C-alpha cells in the first residue's frame, strides 16, 4: 500500500511557465548488458550530462562482471574427426583398442586411457615419442640364462614375445607384426636369425611412415633378398619370385586385373642387379647392387615403358590405380573383421593418397572407426593372446617352451607358413585349439596350486568365492554372463564331488586350477 502524501501536489499548470530549457551534453558511454549465452556483452548508449563532463571523464564499461550462468557444455575435450566412432568412450572401448592395437591391457591400463578420449588414446599409440622402454625382468631361458636371439634356436621368437610383453609402445610391436605378416619372410630361406631380427626392426622404424619408403626398404632388405631370390635375379636369367609376390601379395592383389603375366616378367627384369656373398662363417653377407648384373634395356610395366630400376618397380606398383584400394583394405583387415564398407574404403583411399601414401593417417582413421568399437570381435593371433595372458598374470619370458607351443598354435614368429603370411581366418582348429589350451596350462604354472602340497588349500571356500578368486588371478577380465554362469555351475558340481573329509581341501585346489584353466580358454580371452 502506498503511503498517503502529506503535501498537496502543486498544480501543473502553475509550474509550466516557469520551466526553462537547459543545455544538455550528449555523451557516448559503454556498459555491460546481459548476453543471450549467459555471459555479458558491451553495449554503447548516450548519457545526457546536465553539466559539462570533465576532460577525462570515465565512459565505461568497467571491469566485466562475473558470468551470470556457467556454460551448460564445457568445450569438447575430445573433438573426433568426421567419420570417427561417436559412441560412448570408456573402459570397454579402451580395452578393445588395447586388444587390437597392442597386446591387451594389464590391470588398470584401460582406465588410464579413458581420460585421453578416443583421439588422445589412439594418438598415444600411433604417435609414440622417442625410443621404446622395456620394463620388467629381461627374458631368460629355461635355465635362467639370458636369451641369445641371434644364436640360439627359437630365441628370436622369445626376443619378440618379450618386447610385446614389456614395451611401452605396444602399437609399434603390433604394426611390426602386421608388416611381418604382410611382407611375410621366413627364416627357412634366410641364412642368419639376425637378418630376420633386422627386418623386424625395419618394420618398427618405418611402420608408421610412407608405404613407398617401406616397400623400397623391404625390397632390398637382406632377409627378403634371400627369401624371394632377389639376389639370384640376374640380367639375362631373371628369377620372377619377388616380381610376382611384390604385386600379388604386397601391393596390388591377385585376380583384380591390376597386372598381367607379362608385367611379372618385366618387373623381374627391373629388379635385377642385387647380389651378396656367401661364406661359411658369415653366411650370406655384403648385400649390394651390382650394375653389371642389372638389365638396362627398356621394360614395359602396366603399359609404361622405360629403363626401370628396382626403385621404379616399387614406385610403379604404388602408383598403380588399384594399389590404394588394396592397401587400405589389407591394413583394415588386420584390425577390423569382415569386409571394409565401400564408403569407409573410399574415405581411407582419400586419406592415403592425399598424404602421399603415409601409413599413420590411415591407421589412425581405422583405429577410430565405428566398426572397430561397435562391430563383432576377432580371434586373437596366438602370439597376441599369449603376450596378453602373460601381461595379465604379470609374468615375463622365463622359458623357451613358448617357441614350440606357439608353433603348435600356428604362429612361430619369423617362420610364417609361406609368403602370404598367416591365414587370419584359420587361427582355430582342433590342433591349434589344443595348443591354446596347453599354452594356458603353462601360463598358469606358478599360479595353479598343488592339491597335495604341505600347506593345505581352504576346506571351506564356496563356489562363488572360488570363481571370484580365479577371475582376480587373471587380472579381472570382463567375462560374458553365460560363461560366468557356467563357471559357477562347474564350481558347484566340483564341490559335490567331495565325499570324504580329506577331499575337502584337495578337491577345492583342483577346482581352482580348473577354473583358472577354463577362464584362459574361454572365448573371452581368445577374442579381441
For helices 155-166 and 382-392, the axis angle rounded to 10 degrees is 50
CA atoms within 13 A on the CB side of 282: 8
Q: CA-CA distance, 276 to 283, in Å (whole number)?
A: 10
Residue with cell 596350486: 449
> 70 or 430, CB closer to other proteins?
430
Q: How far apart are alpha carbons 110 and 331 in whole angstroms?
A: 24
Among residues 510, 519, 398, 500, the alpha carbon closest in space to that of 458 is found at 510
Say if CB 27 and CB 57 are below 8 A apart.
Answer: yes
Nearer to other proteins, 172 or 366 (CB): 366
| Minimum separation from the CB atom of position 132 to other proteins (A) | 26
Nearest alpha carbon to residue 109 among 119, 118, 120, 121: 121
Shortest distance (Å) from residue 435 CB to other proteins:
7
Beta-carbon contacts of residue 520 (< 8 Å; ≥ 6 apart)? 389, 440, 443, 444, 474
Closest separation between CB of residue 395 and other proteins, Å?
8
- Report the chain's C-alpha Rg in angstroms: 35
Cβ closer to other proteins: 169 or 270?
270
- In the complex, minimum distance from the CB of residue 361 to other proteins, in angstroms, rounded to a whole number: 27
- Find the largest Cα–Cα distance for the chain: 129
Residue 204: CB minimum distance to other proteins, A = 27
Q: How far apart are CA 45 and CA 26, in angstroms?
A: 10
Cell reading at 385: 593372446
Q: What are φ and ψ of residue 255, in 5° steps?
A: 60, 30
The nearest distance, CB 310 to other proteins, in angstroms, is 17
Q: How far is the CB of 169 from other proteins (least distance, A)?
A: 27
Do 301 and 263 meet the contact criterion of CB atoms below 8 Å apart?
yes
Amino acid at each position: 500500500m502506498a503511503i498517503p502524501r502529506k503535501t498537496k501536489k502543486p498544480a501543473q499548470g502553475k509550474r509550466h511557465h516557469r520551466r526553462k530549457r537547459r543545455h544538455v551534453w550528449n555523451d557516448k558511454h559503454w556498459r555491460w548488458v546481459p548476453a543471450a549465452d549467459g555471459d555479458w556483452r558491451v553495449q554503447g548508449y548516450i548519457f545526457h550530462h546536465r553539466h559539462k563532463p570533465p576532460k577525462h571523464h570515465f565512459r565505461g564499461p568497467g571491469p566485466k562482471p562475473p558470468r551470470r550462468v556457467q556454460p551448460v557444455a564445457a568445450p569438447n575435450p575430445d573433438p573426433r574427426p568426421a567419420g570417427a566412432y561417436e559412441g560412448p568412450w570408456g573402459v570397454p572401448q579402451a580395452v578393445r583398442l588395447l586388444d587390437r592395437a597392442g597386446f591387451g591391457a594389464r590391470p588398470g591400463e584401460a582406465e588410464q586411457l579413458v581420460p585421453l578420449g578416443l583421439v588422445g588414446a589412439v594418438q598415444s599409440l600411433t604417435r609414440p615419442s622417442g625410443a621404446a622402454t622395456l620394463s620388467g625382468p629381461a627374458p631368460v631361458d629355461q635355465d635362467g640364462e639370458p636369451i641369445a636371439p641371434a644364436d640360439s634356436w627359437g630365441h628370436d621368437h622369445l626376443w619378440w614375445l618379450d618386447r610385446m610383453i614389456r614395451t611401452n609402445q605396444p602399437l609399434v610391436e603390433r604394426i611390426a607384426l602386421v608388416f611381418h605378416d604382410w611382407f611375410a619372410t621366413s627364416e627357412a630361406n634366410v641364412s642368419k636369425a639376425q637378418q630376420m631380427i633386422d627386418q623386424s626392426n625395419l618394420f618398427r622404424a618405418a611402420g608408421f611412415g610412407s608405404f613407398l619408403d617401406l616397400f623400397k626398404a623391404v625390397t632390398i632388405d637382406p632377409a627378403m633378398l634371400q627369401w624371394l631370390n632377389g639376389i639370384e635375379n640376374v640380367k639375362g636369367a631373371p628369377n620372377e619370385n619377388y616380381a610376382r609376390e611384390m604385386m600379388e601379395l604386397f601391393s596390388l592383389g591377385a585376380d583384380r586385373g591390376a597386372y598381367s603375366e607379362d608385367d611379372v616378367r618385366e618387373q623381374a627384369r627391373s629388379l635385377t642387379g642385387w647380389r651378396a656373398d656367401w661364406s661359411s662363417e658369415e653366411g650370406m653377407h655384403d648385400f649390394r647392387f651390382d650394375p653389371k648384373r642389372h638389365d638396362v634395356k627398356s621394360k614395359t610395366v602396366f603399359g609404361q615403358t622405360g629403363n626401370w630400376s628396382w626403385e621404379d618397380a616399387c614406385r610403379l606398383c604404388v602408383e598403380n590405380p588399384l594399389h590404394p584400394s588394396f592397401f587400405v583394405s589389407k591394413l583394415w583387415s588386420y584390425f577390423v573383421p569382415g569386409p571394409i564398407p565401400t564408403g569407409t574404403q573410399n574415405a581411407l583411399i582419400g586419406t592415403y593418397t592425399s598424404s602421399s601414401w603415409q601409413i599413420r593417417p590411415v591407421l589412425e582413421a581405422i583405429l577410430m572407426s565405428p566398426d572397430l568399437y561397435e562391430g563383432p570381435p576377432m580371434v586373437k593371433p596366438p602370439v597376441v593372446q599369449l603376450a596378453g595372458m602373460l601381461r595379465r598374470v604379470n609374468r615375463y619370458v622365463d622359458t623357451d617352451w613358448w617357441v614350440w607351443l606357439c608353433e603348435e598354435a600356428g604362429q612361430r614368429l619369423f617362420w610364417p607358413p609361406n609368403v602370404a603370411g598367416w591365414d587370419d581366418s584359420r587361427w582355430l582348429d582342433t590342433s591349434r585349439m589344443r595348443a591354446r589350451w596347453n599354452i594356458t596350462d603353462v601360463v598358469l604354472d606358478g599360479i595353479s596350486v598343488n592339491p597335495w602340497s604341505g600347506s593345505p588349500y581352504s576346506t571351506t571356500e564356496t563356489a562363488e568365492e572360488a570363481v571370484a578368486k580365479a577371475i582376480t588371478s587373471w587380472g579381472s577380465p570382463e567375462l560374458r554372463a553365460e560363461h560366468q554362469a557356467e563357471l559357477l555351475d562347474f564350481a558347484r558340481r566340483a564341490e559335490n564331488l567331495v565325499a570324504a573329509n580329506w577331499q575337502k581341501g584337495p578337491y577345492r585346489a583342483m577346482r581352482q586350477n580348473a577354473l583358472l584353466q577354463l577362464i584362459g580358454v574361454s572365448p573371452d580371452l581368445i577374442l579381441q
